[in-house]
Structure 1
Amino acid sequence: MILWVDGSIRDPAEPVVRATDHGLTVGDGVFEACELLNGRPFALTRHLERLERSAEGLGLPAPDRDEVRKAVDAVAAAWGDELARVRILWTAGEGPLGTDAAWGPGTLVVAATAVGVPRAVRVSVVPWVRNERSAIAGLKTTSYAENVRALAWAKAHGAAEAIFANTRGELCEGTGTNIFLERDGVLLTPPLTSGCLAGVTRAVVIEWAREDGIEVREDALDLAELDGAAHVGLTSSTKGMVPVVAVDGRPIEPGPLTGRVSEVYARRHVLERDP
């Protein structure tokens, strides 16, 4: 791991966060994770814009964007060219041990770790739902215990990713992915009103797929449509677009549109580093 805190690269074993930091005590913080490819972050501007939207949604002041960029550059330079994930963490800073507002100032932590090559994924639908009316719906917050629990459940059932419905019984998202279905030559994905995160890769895939002549629609999808889907794909910052090869143990084949978009994404994201 390469770790940046408070203006400089630090030893990953060094204690750097206070016990009263609200990001630690109550999950009052936001984060982003972007791919580090050949020493450069992909779509960093979009990630920083979402970080700021998430901070605003939690009532936090936005971090200084120039400082975040400098921190990411320092971590990337120290990391090198190996494929990695850069994680940008911004918390409310020090605060009470309860849920009253933090005192601040905010805490900024940027770190890089290695990631594996993207692979096809088996998924499982978990018995819990996303609340599309939640105060943090659509925000990328550090309150991730729900995702940790869901992913552990999915792995216990032979899958590598968990899929949520929302309270209306609509298909929503994975713990760290957005989901796409292929139907009649069209790529379908749940709209943001489903409660899903506005994924950076989701947005880039939609744009690049349409530019390549593929029809993409954001439609409310009943969860049952996943059970009958012939082809499914997932998107995330460290996966790009990958096919789903099993849903709740039911094997499915990688779809032609998923494969085509995956190729487009793999080619363009090397050339267009900040689309």
Structure 2
Amino acid sequence: MTPENRVIVWFDGRLRGHAEPLVLATDHGLTVGDGVFEACELLGGRPFALTRHLERLERSAAGLGLPLPDRDLVRRAVTEVAQAWGDTLGRVRIVWTAGPGPLGSDAAWGPGTLLVAASAVGAPRAVSVSVVPFTRNERSAIAGLKTISYAENVRALAWAHERGGDEAIFGNTRGELCEGTGTNVFLEVDGALVTPPLESGCLAGVTRAVVIEWAREAGVEVREETLPLDAIHRAEHVALTSSTRGVVPVVAVDGRELRPGPVTEQVSEIYTRRHLETPYP
């Protein structure tokens, strides 16, 4: 296995071979996407902001009506995977599903399934984005939950790639700027950073929250504000945040070239420095 394809897997109490069959064919995570997940950056063998990720995992599970996973067990699994992974840059993915159930939408029988895995991730870089013709439903039953039902994101990202974008950007049903497939969006407006509020239907990104806190502590104005979708087409400077990207500038929106903004560069430097110093914010 090449370094970029290397995977470390934990399941049912211990590390497993990456090709070992593990999940039952009746697992609701497989049959109907009834599950939640988190992805943390692995930096120097440590998962960044793990407690925040576990808190969101539990919020998402509760939002789907799933029993909460055993947090101590999840921590132990993440620790074992991180130690096996080593010091190279990577990501750890925590998956919690409803467990075995009927081959339909009725509730699963359980118990829940926990799977933790680590894989390689590339270094953060500037990105181009494409605004997709699909919408986020801010009134959906799963709005704001990090579920494993990612087919919508897969399709949107493929649409963006076909048009030269590295990431896809969604509006919501009200025509407001919402989020990317795996990112939160920030615009620079009059020297401040502005990001859509959670009421837009966007995910409450862990990196989004940390960036807002650390930027404000450094004296940078950050506002959560409803924005029309076309604001991203008019903005001079745009940035994305995510657990594996950190804070990165957008260098093109639907082919319109942009320069990294001064506030983006300032906040990116703050985040890069502090997340090395403070792995558990």
Q: TM-score by structure 1 length?
A: 1.00
Match of 1:30 in 2: 36
Q: Which amino acid aligns with 2:16?
A: R
The yes-or-no answer on 1:232 pairing with 2:211 is: no
> In the alignment, which of 64, 69, 79 is matched to residue 63 of structure 1?
69
Distance 1:227 1:29 in 2: 35
Question: What's the counterpart of residue 134 of structure 2?
Answer: 128
- Post-superposition CA distance 1:174-216 (Å, at most 9, x none): 0000000001001000000000000000000000000011000
- 2:99 corresponds, among 93, 103, 108, to 93
Is 1:265 the equivalent of 2:265? no
Partner of 2:21: 15
Match of 1:160 in 2: 166
- Kindly state the Cα deviation for residue 173 of structure 1 after the two structures are TM-superposed: 0.0
Residue matched to 1:196: 202
Which residue of structure 2 aligns with residue 249 of structure 1?
Answer: 255
TM-score by length of 2: 0.98
RMSD: 0.3
Q: 1:5 aligns with which of 11, 32, 41?
A: 11
- Specify the SS of the correspondent of 1:148: helix
Would you say how many aligned residue pairs link Structure 1 and Structure 2?
A: 275
In 1: Cα distance, 2:25 partner to 2:18 partner: 17
Matches of 2:58 and 2:86, distance apart in 1: 27
> Percent of aligned pairs with the same residue?
76
Deviations 1:88-138 (A, max 9, x none): 000000000000000000000000000000000000000000000000000
What is the CA-CA distance between 1:3 and the residue it aligns to?
A: 0.2
Q: What SS does the aligned partner of 1:147 have?
A: helix
Q: Secondary structure at the match of 1:116?
A: coil
CA distance in 1, matches of 2:169, 2:75: 32
Instruction: Identify the match of residue 229 of structure 2 among 223, 227, 249.
Output: 223
- Unpaired runs of 5+ in structure 1? none
User: Runs of 5+ in structure 2 lacking a partner?
Assistant: 1-6
Measured after TM superposition, the shift of residue 79 of structure 1 is 0.5
* CA deviation profile, 1:235-263 (whole Å, cap 9, x unmatched): 00000000000000000100011111110
Query: Which residue does the alignment assign to 2:144?
Result: 138
Whole-Å separation in 2 of the counterparts to 1:92 and 1:239: 29
Hey, what's the Cα distance between the residues in 2 that align with 1:5 and 1:112?
Answer: 12
Mapped to 2, the partners of 1:247 and 1:141 lie a distance apart of 27
Separation of aligned partners in 2, 1:43 and 1:225: 31
Identify the match of residue 177 of structure 1 among 164, 177, 183.
183
Give 2:85's aligned amino acid: W
Shift of 1:224: 1.3
Counterpart of 1:37 in structure 2: which amino acid? L
Q: Which residue is equivalent to 2:113? A: 107
Aligned equivalents of 2:41, 2:164: Cα separation in 1: 26
Question: Offset of 1:155 from its aligned partner?
Answer: 0.2
| Matched AA of 1:83 | L
Match of 2:122 in 1: 116
The answer to whether 1:49 aligns with 2:55 is yes
Cα drift, residue 8 of structure 1: 0.2
